[in-house]
Amino acid sequence: MTSTFARRRILSPSSQSFAPAAGPAASAPPDASASPAVPTQPAVSARSVVSAQPVVWAQPVVSARPAVEVFEQFLLLDPRSGADVAIAEQVRAALPDGLRDRSRAHGSVLELSAADGRDLRTLRAQLATRRRAAADAAERSGVWLTAIGAPPAGSPSRSGTHATPSRSGTHATPSRSGTHATPSGSDTDGMPLAGRRLPGDARDAAVDPALCGMRVRIGLPDRVPAGAVGERLRIWLPVLQALTANSPFHRGADTGHSSWRAVLRRDRPLPATHPALVVDVADVCTDLDDAILVTALIRAAVATAVTDLHEDRPAPSVPGDVFASAAARAARDGLRADLVDPLRCRVRPAWDVVDEFFATVSPALLDSGDLGAVVDGLARLRDTGDGATRQRRIHRGTGDLRAVVAALAAWTRTGA
């Protein structure tokens, strides 16, 4: 069955993006082809494309462009071995003053944040600037800043320390082609290629703090209960998890999952409720456009939930075992197979469920002006696959996990 996004691409040659209009175009994934054009502001919903019948949308009763803040976590990886290196405090100290104030460090994980009141293009520019500055600071310390959900190599340390960066006199520069300079000598940190036994079990989570995600904080109107909004958003969290799956490898092995980070966390993906709503379900995205796409979808989902609350629409009821199954399937398969449809409580092709989510939040996307860019982003993601699929594609072409690390390190910097 042809997807809604494929049908949309036939309707109009125009396109829209969250990327800045001026300046050089952002780099494509190492092996991705150009995305086909899609419409900017279609005046119909995803479902009406099939029937070509007019659809009347209820206008959201609150602004669909509330304040948003994004927190991205990055692993610091040894260019030579691919193992994570616990020098995040050192790298943080080397950041520019303004960026250091909006960062946190723990072990081998560096977290950066950016906030903007309304405009996602401005937010994207902020995140891009922060990534480049942090990548510079990391390379001065002999490591690579890498947007990846879990460490692909090395062994977790119970003492909380990891390997120190290699100092062989050869500075390895990450390359988007999937290759990089490798100093001579043995891999002292042990970077096994694919084929090693799967990491023991979920006990790894207790000794491996090097897991990187993306948190999105959305402001809420006064007197709107964050808990009630979170409950309405909850059913779509596995879909957001699948869209951002970016950790197929862990400690030298292909785990068979798309998001091993989600498995190691061993908890249900629930939105945290504060004065604002914090959605903490996504793997960190290597491609910055993926991060902005998911941010736009989360913001639209929150606006949709607030509108439903205001209009006293009943919240969808999903049994706990169905939700747990949805989260587990999203962690395992990402976008490559099936997902659980939370409204029908049954398994459907992944992109059919994404379609359902898109249709649900489309009125808020239209109100915010983000609809065309989201259609464009989803079409691109369908063409390239999720982050886990891209990592495996690089590995199949090279047979070397170090090539995956090199490509992702370059993508983290230049893809921004």
Concatenated DSSP letters for 218-269? Answer: E---TT--HHHHHHHHGGGHHHHHHHT--B-EETTEE-S-SBHHHHHH-S--
Q: How many CA atoms lie within 13 A of 284 on its CB side?
A: 29
Reported as a single tens digit per residue, the pLDDT across 255-299 is: 999 999 999 986 555 676 667 899 999 999 999 999 999 999 999
- CA distances in angstroms from 213 to 148, 225, 286, 372, listed in the order given: 8, 25, 11, 26
Reported as a single tens digit per residue, the pLDDT across 220-265 is: 888 888 889 999 999 999 999 999 999 999 989 999 999 999 999 8
What's the rounded Cα separation, in Å, for the pair 182 and 185? Answer: 9
What's the rounded Cα separation, in Å, for the pair 355 and 152? Answer: 31
What's the rounded Cα separation, in Å, for the pair 409 and 160? Answer: 23
Given its phi and psi angles, is residue 154 left (phi above 0), alpha (psi -120 to 50 degrees) or beta? left
Beta bridge partners of 363: none
pLDDT of res. 265: 84
Average pLDDT over the chain reads: 77
- CA distances in angstroms from 59 to 119, 358, 361, 373, listed in the order given: 20, 16, 12, 19
In percent, how much of the chain has pLDDT > 90? 60
Say whether pTM exceeds 0.85: no
Cβ contact 134:112 at 8 Å: yes
What's the rounded Cα separation, in Å, for the pair 340 and 350? Answer: 8
| Residue that wins the pLDDT comparison between 31 and 304 | 304
Q: How many CB atoms lie within 10 A of CB 414?
A: 16
- Report CA 88 to chain centroid distance, whole Å: 21
User: Virtual CA dihedral for 39, 40, 45, 51, nearest 10 degrees?
Assistant: -30
Cβ contact 64:368 at 8 Å: yes
pLDDT of res. 222: 82
Domains of the chain (ranges plus CATH)? 68-159+195-414 (3.30.590.20)
Q: What is the mean pLDDT of residues 194-217?
A: 60
Q: What is the mean pLDDT of residues 330-346?
A: 95
Cβ contact 144:77 at 8 Å: yes
Reported as a single tens digit per residue, the pLDDT across 83-108 is: 999 999 999 999 999 899 999 999 99
In percent, how much of the chain has pLDDT > 70? 69
User: Virtual CA dihedral for 146, 149, 152, 158, nearest 10 degrees?
Assistant: 100
Reported as a single tens digit per residue, the pLDDT across 141-181 is: 999 999 999 999 876 543 344 444 443 333 334 444 332 32
Residue 317: pLDDT band by 50, 70, 90 thresholds? confident
- Report CA 383 to chain centroid distance, whole Å: 16
What's the rounded Cα separation, in Å, for the pair 88 and 82? Answer: 16
- CA distances in angstroms from 187 to 143, 175, 248, listed in the order given: 16, 20, 22
**Residue 21 pLDDT more than 90?**
no
Reported as a single tens digit per residue, the pLDDT across 367-389 is: 999 999 999 999 999 999 999 99
pLDDT of res. 8: 39
Q: What is the DSSP letter of 215?
A: E
Residue partners of 387: CB distance under 8 A and separation at least 6: 149, 244, 245, 246, 247, 283, 285, 286, 287, 290
Q: What is the mean pLDDT of residues 299-313?
A: 94
What's the rounded Cα separation, in Å, for the pair 21 and 382? Answer: 23
Nearest C-alpha neighbor of 250 from the set 212, 305, 303: 212
Residue partners of 131: CB distance under 8 A and separation at least 6: 72, 112, 145, 147, 288, 412, 413, 416
What's the rounded Cα separation, in Å, for the pair 217 and 132? Answer: 22
Which residue type sits at 28?
A
